[in-house]
Structure 1
Amino acid sequence: MNIIPIKELKNTLKIEKICKSSDSPLFVTKNGYGSLVIMDIDYYSNMISEMEEAKLILEALEDVKNNKYRDGDEVIKGLEEKYGL
């Protein structure tokens, strides 16, 4: 885990280098307490994608739990009947 005091934010090249070279966010402290989080844009994009995928999986599991799904063979059969395939 990368942690720096807020006064080090003046050195933007160093901050960018830390963020680009690590696979984790950079935590910035002020007076010894967490204040900010800085991360590389690629790390952020990957994190958001993983969170969206996890959300979709949780929604799908909830649908299964509540019997809100259809069997794949039934769906294909219905499409074949509807479109004369």
Structure 2
Amino acid sequence: MIIKPSAVIRKNYNEISEICKESGEPVYLTKNGEGDLVVMDIEAFTKRESMLRLRENLIVAEEGRMNGKPGYSIDDVSSLMKAAVQEVLDGKRK
């Protein structure tokens, strides 16, 4: 965990930016010794957000499965994917 006083971002934005990009981790900024802000590289943030959305979707799917919601077998998914690909190919031929 990287912790810096908030004055660092005012005085040396480039240093904070470089730390974020090199580490891929958030930098926690303090103000008067208390946590104030979190700064992170946009790529690391985007990746983290994607992972969180994926986890949320997996949890929803698992909850549905546990509650008896019908699912799809591997063969079902394979058939659905083949049909979707064929539909796209047929559409391009027209």
| TM-score where L is the length of structure 1 | 0.81
Q: 1:71 to 1:7 in 2, by over 3 A?
A: closer
In structure 2, what residue type is equivalent to 1:42? E
Aligned to 2:86: none
1:55 equivalent to 2:56? Answer yes
1:71 Cα offset (Å): 4.2
In structure 2, what residue type is equivalent to 1:45? T
Aligned to 1:43: 44
In structure 1, what residue type is equivalent to 2:7? K
Partners of 1:12 and 1:74 in 2: CA distance: 53
The structure 1 segments of at least 4 consecutive aligned residues displaced by more than 3 Å after TM superposition are 73-76
Aligned to 1:5: 5
CA RMSD of aligned residues (A): 1.9
In structure 1, what residue type is equivalent to 2:56? K
Structure 2 gaps of 5+ residues are 81-94
Aligned residues: 77
Identity of aligned residues (%): 34
Structure 1 gaps of 5+ residues are 80-85
Partners of 2:51 and 2:20 in 1: CA distance: 19
Q: Over residues 51-74 of structure 1, what are the superposed CA-to-partner deviations in whole Å (9 max), with x where a residue is unaligned?
A: 001001100110111111234379
